[in-house]
Amino acid sequence: MAGTVILLISHEDLIQYPIETNSKKIKSYSRNLRSNTDKDMINPDETGRKFCELLEIIARLRSPGGCPWDQKQTVQTFKPYLIEETHELSEALDNDDPNQIREELGDLFFQLGFINQLYEERDIFSIEDVLQSIIDKMIRRHPHVFEGKTFESYDEMSRNWARVKEKEKSKKEHKMYELDVPKSLPALIRGQKVASRAARTGFDWPDLRALVENLSEDFRILTDDALEGNKEEIEQSLGDLLFSLVNLARKCEVNGEECLKRATDRFITRFKLMEEILSANNLAIDELDQESQRKFWAQTDNHS
């Protein structure tokens, strides 16, 4: 019968891959981190050598006689480059270009190693501390993979994930942490994560219909505020509507950020096509009235 392989990225982002199995229970695995099937996939000596070489390059760039630009960097001055490289990797993944992805992954490894170097120079922590921390965390949060624990269901495993995270922090810290999503995240991503974590505590809409009714009310309020022209009221009511929309995305199990990204890409594609159509007719957008613009825009509908 059909079973499930479960990849835990975060508690609110659980990814399931269907498999065929004769057991109703999620399969337990040995704590041996290297299974027989993957023992030849990674050459620890070569991988370790390359990793150390990268760290040595970073250390040399920061050392006396190294690169003046690298030497003057701080955590705060370097942070924007980390964000930029992360977005570039995200775009490479969207493009599904292996060469671009490989290059961007390398750039991101460099960014992470550089930030670690900044802290290692101040004797705050080392790369070994960083790696050991994530190794321990992943093993601790996946007892069904590394410690032989068996769960009766996907939901039981999900609850265990939450319990393990809770044990990792004191009650006071946990309450603060529950909605503590980085402010530097894109607003839609942050909003959806906050909504997901709030729902995890039981603070949620009873059903989709109730949420849709609230959306209608939020839109009515925004419309009234927009017609009145009060900017502060518009900003607040628009924010409320957007937050309700990310809740709708969460309820419908879609990624609000990706939805907006794809909609923006569709708009760009159609707009460029409309410009091409107009150019072929020796026309420009700013020369057309709104009715004519809509007619040319409609011609691009089947190409988005």
What distance in Å separates the CA atoms of residue 251 and residue 205, rounded to the nearest whole number? 9
Let me know whether 189 and 249 are in one domain.
yes
Evaluate if residue 103 carries a pLDDT over 80.
yes
Q: How many domains does the chain have?
A: 2
Asked if residue 226 is part of any domain, the answer here is: yes
DSSP secondary structure code for residue 302 in this structure? G
Let me know whether 185 and 249 are in one domain.
yes
Let me know whether 246 and 186 are in one domain.
yes
The distance from CA 169 to its chain's CA centroid, rounded to whole angstroms, is 23
Let me know whether 203 and 245 are in one domain.
yes
Asked if residue 122 is part of any domain, the answer here is: no
Of the spans 149-158, 159-168, 266-275, which averages the highest pLDDT? Answer: 266-275
If you average pLDDT over every residue of the chain, what do you get?
A: 84
Q: Average pLDDT in the 156-167 region?
A: 83
Strand partners, 4: 18
pLDDT at residue 245 in the model: 96
User: Which tens digit of pLDDT belongs to each residue from 64-75?
Assistant: 999 999 999 999
pLDDT at residue 69 in the model: 96
pTM for the whole thing?
A: 0.60
Asked if residue 155 is part of any domain, the answer here is: no
Domain that holds residue 274: 257-303
What distance in Å separates the CA atoms of residue 229 and residue 303, rounded to the nearest whole number? 36
What distance in Å separates the CA atoms of residue 3 and residue 153, rounded to the nearest whole number? 10
Asked if residue 223 is part of any domain, the answer here is: yes
User: Which tens digit of pLDDT belongs to each residue from 14-58?
Assistant: 333 333 333 334 333 334 455 544 545 567 788 889 999 999 999
Say if CB 35 and CB 27 are below 8 A apart: no
Work out the pLDDT band at 167, boundaries 50, 70, 90.
confident
